[in-house]
Amino acid sequence: MFESACRIIRILKEYGHEAFIVGGAVRDICLKKEPEDYDIVTTASPVKIREIAVENGWKVYDVGKSFQVTMIIIDGKPFEIATARATSCIEKNTRLGSLRLPACIKENLSQRDFTINAMAMGLDGEILDPFGGKKDLASGLIRMVGDVRERIKEDALRMFRVGRFIARYGFKADDQIYNAIPNFLQNVKELSVERIRCEIEKILLAPKARLGLEFLVQTGLADTVCRHRRNGIDRPVKVLPELARLVGVPQNVRYHRFDVWVHTLETVSGVPASLTLRWAALLHDIAKGLPGIRGLNKRGEISDHGHDKAGAKIAGDILARLRVATPVRKRVVWLVRNHMIAFPHEKNAAKWLKKIAKHFSSQEQLSEAVLQLMALRRADVAAKGYSSVSQVLQKLVGRQEALEKALETIPFYPEGLNISGGRVAAVLGEGPQVGKFMSDLLDRVIAGRIPNCEQNLFDALARRAKRVKHLANGEDLRFRTTKRW
């Protein structure tokens, strides 16, 4: 993509327009990371960009007319090209190193959120850095461009974006950001729940998700209220106040070294970076400490009996409130509800999976859910914080291997049988008897009483057809055979 971005800049310059790679791509290049996408800022107008694109055979779309943003597709890759304000380009250029940075380009950079995102790069690879972004990258510091208060006033979402960049790179926010945020928490009410959820999910998926979540709680951002517009009416939506409640909530020291909040953060860090698993890890103990859940066990120790079931209800409400995608929400609720479940020994793996299978519609979904549940359970156990959990983790690994083997070799849905419903219908005739036979056959395969191979299943079908024929003729087979089929 870098070569294509340079090609766009080169051609824009051939038509007499200045152009630079800007923003996150420059930041990632400085960090020696491969950028996910490339944004370009140019002095060319959207009309000129479109004309140039057409002349060069590029696909072109207007994606943000109000912000003068044009998208060009080259080799199937998208590039957003923003037009810098032409009115500012008549000002004197700013000299940076051996290059001149047009005033309108500098103005574009000055309107960005953080210094590490406010750099530009020309064709020769020289970094144009009017706000000290390279120094902040080297220091691991997140600092807003110019006046922090003005940047937050422009878009309150930038406060959440600080948490996202902390989570992504492990950087620290400077003191000015921490000092300013308490004065602008009320501005969050102007933000849509969709925008905030997007930032929270980016935090969850980041390598240092724990740090970003801590930032949201420490600054009070998790305890704010945003909005959801429906039928033209804005309704208040709580962000994530439930997280702040977990801070300092003690647990039974026999089993847990940390309080509920630290344990939750450890669990989030311990699961793979999938949206479903990170949400499940964040919410798996969300009911702990609540009245009706918090109590004492027979030893007089802290106990949270039923927190899994109550937590599933709370998790569902939170995710619905934040308008998380329905498939993710449903799976997270299932994971939270079952995160305390006892996994079976190898000999009972098939029976256990058969019971779980009723919650899913396919072998693929069942397999995915079970492996997610195992991952959550391993992270939950490891997050207890004691070295003694290593033995429990070893047992979990062994039981996961047994479950994986069963999932690979045993069908838990009729579609996995090596005989089709059409073949059964051709022998037994159309009707409910087809489904009944397939269900009975599946039960026998799961129980290991008949192999899931074509010939064995066809033989079972033939026996069933013979039995049906005899029954139709009024014959009593009780004394003729002991075989069910």
d(CA 181, CA 227): 19
pLDDT of residue 482: 46
Identify whether the C-beta of residue 180 lies closer than 8 Å to the C-beta of residue 150: no
Query: In terms of Cα–Cα distance, which of 334, 377, 340, 383 is closest to 356?
Result: 334
Residues shown for the chain: 485
Fold of 1-136: Beta Polymerase; domain 2 (3.30.460)
Give me the residue spans of the domains in the chain: 1-136, 140-239, 251-269+280-409, 414-472
Sequence-distant (6+) residues with CB within 8 A of 478 are none
Percent composition of the chain: helix, strand, coil (DSSP 3-state, to 5) = 55, 15, 30
Run of H or E residues at 73? strand 69-74
Mean pLDDT by 10 residues, the chain (485 residues): 86 89 91 88 87 86 69 86 62 38 73 92 86 94 95 96 96 96 96 97 97 98 95 93 96 93 98 97 97 93 95 98 97 97 91 94 96 96 90 90 94 92 85 89 92 90 80 54 48
pLDDT of residue 100: 46
pLDDT of residue 217: 98
d(CA 139, CA 277): 32
Query: In terms of Cα–Cα distance, which of 358, 354, 305, 363 is closest to 334?
Result: 358
pLDDT of residue 116: 95
pLDDT of residue 93: 38
Average pLDDT, the chain: 89
d(CA 33, CA 69): 25
Identify whether the C-beta of residue 39 lies closer than 8 Å to the C-beta of residue 20: no
Query: In terms of Cα–Cα distance, which of 115, 90, 222 is closest to 163?
Result: 222
Identify whether the C-beta of residue 151 lies closer than 8 Å to the C-beta of residue 114: no
Query: In terms of Cα–Cα distance, which of 197, 203, 215, 112 is closest to 154?
Result: 112
pLDDT of residue 472: 62
Residue 157 tokens, joined: 């979402």
pLDDT of residue 92: 39
Tokens 């190193």 locate to: 97
Identify the DSSP state of 341.
P
Classify domain 140-239 by CATH number.
1.10.110.30
pLDDT of residue 65: 53
